[in-house]
């Protein structure tokens, strides 16, 4: 049991040193993109959850219309 605890402690120390070294290497990170506004995020949530409340047949029809819209948008 004691050997297991020692091995675990050594592995934890090695992992922490490795992550600290990686953090120093990658210090120059790209700036994060601007977060979406609350209205846009809410609309996206409603749009993604809507098919969950449709009956089984309605879900197929809804997804077919969404696919048709996306293919039409790609053609433009």
Report percent pLDDT > 70 for the chain. Answer: 71
Q: In the chain, what are the domain boundaries?
A: 2-26+37-75
15 confidence band (pLDDT: 50, 70, 90): confident
- pTM of the complete model beyond 0.75: no
Within 10 angstroms of residue 51's Cβ, the number of other Cβ atoms is 14
CA distance 39 to 43: 6
> Is 67's pLDDT higher than 60?
yes
Q: Collect all residues with Cβ–Cβ distance below 8 Å to 24 and sequence separation of at least 6.
A: none
pLDDT digits over 34-44, tens only?
666 777 878 88
* Burial (CB count within 10 angstroms: exposed 0-12, middle 13-18, buried 19+), residue 59: middle
Say how far apart CA 63 and CA 57 lie, in whole Å.
10
Q: Of residues 20 and 58, which shows the higher confidence score?
A: 58
């Amino acid at each position: 049991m004691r050997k297991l605890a020692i091995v675990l402690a050594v592995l934890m120390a090695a992992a922490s040193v490795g992550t600290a070294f990686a953090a120093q290497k990658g210090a120059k990170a790209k700036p994060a993109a601007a977060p979406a506004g609350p209205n846009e995020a809410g609309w996206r949530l409603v749009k993604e959850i809507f098919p969950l409340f449709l009956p089984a047949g309605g879900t197929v029809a809804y997804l077919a219309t969404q696919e048709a819209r996306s293919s039409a948008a790609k053609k433009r």
